[in-house]
Amino acid sequence: MSKLSVRMGISMVAPPLAAGELNRPLVGESERIISDICMRCHRIPYLMCCVSIDEIDSLAPKRKDGTSDGNVAKLSVLLSVIDGIKDVPNLMIFCATNRLHMMDDAFLRRMSGKFFVGRPSSNA
């Protein structure tokens, strides 16, 4: 993702993140990290910014009975942050998963585009 963003003239506001880095045990810590990233973009409105989150399915799993309150709270905050990102016109978020069927429907509805990237060929 870093090379792609450089080719497109987009600044990475944080190194590519794994969802585990955002899945913090302390209440409010994950939300603070996401908010800090958005604030960086607010400070540099003249640059296009990009955040890449791998394994997003662990942050936005499908809600079902028995889901812990902590996970539901994190997902709720993540959804509200994504709604707020519309107010940050210079920010793009790229999320990756190989378990799309296990993702929360409300999260998927908020994504403006979904692209399938298959396995690379042997020539790649």
Q: Is residue 118 part of a domain?
A: no
pLDDT exceeds 60 at position 102: yes
Q: Is residue 23 part of a domain?
A: yes
Whole-angstrom CA distances from 54 to 44, 46, 47, 59, 87 are 24, 26, 23, 10, 23
Which of 83, 93, 6 has its CA nearest to residue 50?
93
Q: Is residue 20 part of a domain?
A: yes
Which stretch, 17-31, 41-55, 106-120, has highest mean pLDDT?
Answer: 106-120
CATH number at residue 9: 3.40.50.300
CA distance 118 to 101: 16
**Ramachandran class of 88: left when φ > 0, alpha when ψ lies in -120 to 50, beta otherwise:** beta
Domain that holds residue 58: 2-110
Given this model, what pLDDT does residue 62 score? 86
Indicate the pLDDT class of residue 30, thresholds 50, 70 and 90: confident
